[in-house]
Amino acid sequence: MDTQALWLTLRLALTTTALLLAIALPVAWWIASGTGAARALVQAVVALPLVLPPTVLGFYLLVALGPLTAPGRLIIRLLGHPLAFSFSGLVVGSVLYSLPFAVQPLVAGFRAVDTALLEVAATLGASPARAFRTITLPLARPSLVTAAVLTFTHTVGEFGVVLMLGGNIPGATRTLSIALYDQVQDFNYAAANRTAALLLAFSLATLIVVYWRGAERRSVLG
């Protein structure tokens, strides 16, 4: 078992989840709070990673973050090294890659909150920020958990973006799914089997928890 790859994968998934929730909360709130062309555009962009081959996203990021573009050169000057082929680069890629998995459950959760409750909150003197904090967020908590779990598991399972953007550097960018690929390339099927079984068990267990919680919630609410 490649424990270095395991820890790297967990660290990447945790960092991505934390960052992505911070980004997805305001984006999802904005999308859910109205309609219009601007929101449709943002939703389409957010949903792109669902349909785009991960290698396409990885390729564009590789180019964008490299020395060929102005933002890429700026990053290189600021950090002293390119973002590509580093852990930070992987975080950027993962955040974009898992964006829909965080934003979409949150949008659905926020939209499910009865507007009558928010209207009452306003007539009781609650500012939109207070109403969001005290009404919308607590009522949308299950979708917050779903968004976090899906982001985490999706990041654990990502392959294409990591391969394009991160390469295969042990301790920096070599995640479990890359390690598995390496093990197969080396005809080390026993090791590959363990890695694959670990990833499968982890994904299945998380999904069972998500659906279980969902079913319990529904039965409580009738």
**123 or 185: CB nearest other proteins:** 123
Minimum distance of other proteins from residue 130's CB (angstroms): 8
State in angstroms the smallest separation of the CB of 216 from other proteins: 15
User: Distance between CA atoms of 97 and 180, rounded to whole angstroms?
Assistant: 20
By beta-carbon proximity to other proteins, the closer residue of 3 and 35 is 35
Closest CA to 166 of 68, 65, 79: 65
Least separation in angstroms between CB 217 and other proteins: 12
**Identity of the residue, 80 or 125, whose beta carbon is nearer to other proteins in the bound complex:** 125
Q: Which is nearer to other proteins, 5 or 131 (CB)?
A: 131
By beta-carbon proximity to other proteins, the closer residue of 37 and 116 is 116
Distance from C-alpha of 65 to C-alpha of 17, rounded to nearest angstrom: 21
- Residue 146 to residue 213: CA distance in whole angstroms: 9
In the complex, which residues of this chain contact other proteins (CB under 8 A)? 114, 116-117, 119-128, 130-131, 134-135, 138-139
Residue 131: CB minimum distance to other proteins, A: 8
Burial 35-74 (b: 16+ CB within 10 A, else e): eeeeeeeebeebeebeeeebeebbeebbebbbeeeeebee
Minimum CB separation of residue 219 from other proteins in Å reads 13
Query: CA angle, corner 11, sides to 64 and 47, nearest 5?
Result: 50
